[in-house]
Structure 1
Amino acid sequence: MKKRELAAQWVQNHLSMLACPICQSPFSLVATQGLRCSKGHQWDFNRAGSVHFLQTASASNSYDQEMLAARRRVLTAGLFAPMVAQLNACLPATPVKLIDVGTGEGTPLAQLQALRGNADALAGFDISKAGVNLATQLAPGQMFFCVADLRKLPFATASLDVVMELFSPADYDEFDRVLAPGGTLLKIIPTGAYLQELRALLYPATDSHRHYDNHLVKDRFLARYPAGQVIPINYQFELAPALRADLVAMSPLHWGQGARELTAAELASLKTVTVAVELLIAKKNAKNY
């Protein structure tokens, strides 16, 4: 089957998860061409099997093909694997309806799918068309990917069991809207030690980019969800020589003003990196929606 047909089949099986991002009306499937809501808004599947839910012709961000390809190689090698395993440990053994916010090129969601099997309904979205097109190469027909706006999600109210978000911006009002009562929000944020070896190579000790503090993001989360949990995740990841330049290319750290171009010797010294993040967990309840 073509990717467009596989996507249409996935949508047909999980149509109740989706809703028009313009008016939140329910969708009906239009053969294998796309989706139409009850108020006439229509969205088509592309050849890659994804749907572009933005009202603009294209999405603009700094995640180009080179960066996304580098990210795919490093994540496939396992940079986030212990993190994904911890996310999986927080999910029930029963099938879930889950979305991955800011899915990028989709590898973490695909790794979660590989751990859990095919019973779940897993969907990922990103503002990057290039990222979503790359994501559709992963397990076609087993997951659904789309280009969408964080603040106008193409998912139905109270239709999801889990919202998962790794290193991405958040819209808690939208997350609470799409989560069913008792649904779970899983959010990964970096700590000051995250990729500290790379940060030390790119910036001098006096540069503000050398140091990182994410407490405001965590404080906002816990203010929104006072019963929320925080689970630290810390480990060392060994970088094969071929992945060292890829790690630099995949990370926004090298975009900062004053970032140095690394020499071959400096890249060769980047043998291991620290992955230090916090998993923030909250349950939807009547008080936060």
Structure 2
Amino acid sequence: MLKKIDRGAAFIQKESQLFRCPKCHQPLAGKEKSLVCTNGHRFDLSKKGTPYFLDHQIQTDYNQVMFQHRRNLITNGMYQPLIDLLALECEQQRVLDVGCGEGSFLAQLATKVNLKPSIGFDISKEGIYLASDYANQLFWCVADLTNLPFQSGSFTTILNIFSPSNYQEFKRVLTPGGKVIKVVPGSLYLSELRQAFYPEDAVKQQYSNEAVVDKFQETFTKVTTKTLKYTFDIPESCRLSLLEMSPLEWGVSDEIKAKVQKDPLKKITIDLEILIGEY
């Protein structure tokens, strides 16, 4: 079994054509355990086998604990119907997972279908370090959505699951005829949790992604829309993870959180809209 840094080094040696320097936009070449451009900009792999493409540290509210709770739910089937649907779109594709967090969506997909060597990135170093636990011809890096460290026309499919978008950069790094798959919550997504966390706040119990959907439909010349709505029976081992997996809990009082922890939810509604766009 290769060490993570050796696995990462093997990937950048074999797939260096995918990368470009985020500072000067020149091609990056894999040299031992680093990516280096002709202008001398250098991006070393961490011990986890992951390069850091940002030019400064960025603080996010998404921490390792939240990512671990999210992984617990993903790997225990909370989004299995979504992964099954994505699998139909991603067979033999070279995938870029935008805002991949701790990597479980892309990793689960890679166990279900054959992917070409694919990449997940996130702005959170904590998420990417966790993602490095996964192999399956996958590579992980810390990068900026607005300045992707990838060559133009490198990916056939972009996954954009519960994360921000930059359609100009998406278009640049996609191959001609490539597609963006954006997953957004529907109005009933996690509705039971919203009601439990904010029992007296009707506004926070509601959810709308109408503006996000409208922007997507305006951006692409061809859009296909699919929906998924189901109730997930939460395994007992995951019930407390549900309370910590998303930003929903950030504004919750300690009193309400303690009450929900004492009697956690046993079922949760998953309501998703899957937008598939081609330029």
What TM-score do you get using the length of structure 1 for normalisation?
A: 0.91
Matches of 1:280 and 1:74, distance apart in 2: 23
For residue 48 of structure 1, what is the aligned residue in structure 2? 48
Shift of 1:162: 0.7
For residue 287 of structure 1, what is the aligned residue in structure 2? none
The superposition leaves residues 160-187 of structure 1 with CA deviations (integer Å, 9 ceiling, x where unpaired) of 1011110000000000010011001000
- The aligned length equals 278
Out of 118, 122, 127, which is 2:118 matched to? 122
Question: What RMSD over aligned residues (CA atoms) do the two structures have, in Å?
Answer: 1.7
Residue 173 of structure 1 pairs with residue 172 of structure 2: no
For residue 108 of structure 1, what is the aligned residue in structure 2? 105
For residue 237 of structure 2, what is the aligned residue in structure 1? 242
Shift of 1:265: 6.1
Question: What SS is found at the alignment partner of 1:161?
Answer: strand
Verify the 8 A CA contact 2:239 2:264 in the aligned structure 1. no
Out of 120, 138, 145, which is 1:150 matched to? 145
**Where in structure 2 are the equivalents of 1:225-264 lying within 5 Å?**
225-256=220-251, 261-263=256-258
For residue 35 of structure 2, what is the aligned residue in structure 1? 35
For residue 81 of structure 2, what is the aligned residue in structure 1? 82
For residue 64 of structure 2, what is the aligned residue in structure 1? 65
In the alignment, residue 69 of structure 2 is paired with which amino acid?
A
Classify 1:168/1:267 alpha carbon distance in 2 versus 1 (closer, same or farther; 3 Å). farther
Verify the 8 A CA contact 1:162 1:183 in the aligned structure 2. yes
In the alignment, residue 128 of structure 1 is paired with which amino acid?
S
Shift of 1:158: 1.1
Out of 193, 197, 213, which is 1:218 matched to? 213
In structure 1, list runs of 5 or more residues that go unmatched.
Answer: 285-289
Matches of 1:133 and 1:201, distance apart in 2: 32
What TM-score do you get using the length of structure 2 for normalisation?
A: 0.94
Shift of 1:258: 6.1
Shift of 1:259: 8.3
Verify the 8 A CA contact 1:241 1:268 in the aligned structure 2. no
The superposition leaves residues 237-276 of structure 1 with CA deviations (integer Å, 9 ceiling, x where unpaired) of 1112221111110111111366863345665351110110
For residue 134 of structure 1, what is the aligned residue in structure 2? 130
In the alignment, residue 195 of structure 1 is paired with which amino acid?
L
Shift of 1:207: 3.4
For residue 2 of structure 1, what is the aligned residue in structure 2? 3
Matches of 1:267 and 1:207, distance apart in 2: 23
In the alignment, residue 197 of structure 2 is paired with which amino acid?
L
In structure 2, list runs of 5 or more residues that go unmatched.
Answer: none
In the alignment, residue 23 of structure 2 is paired with which amino acid?
I
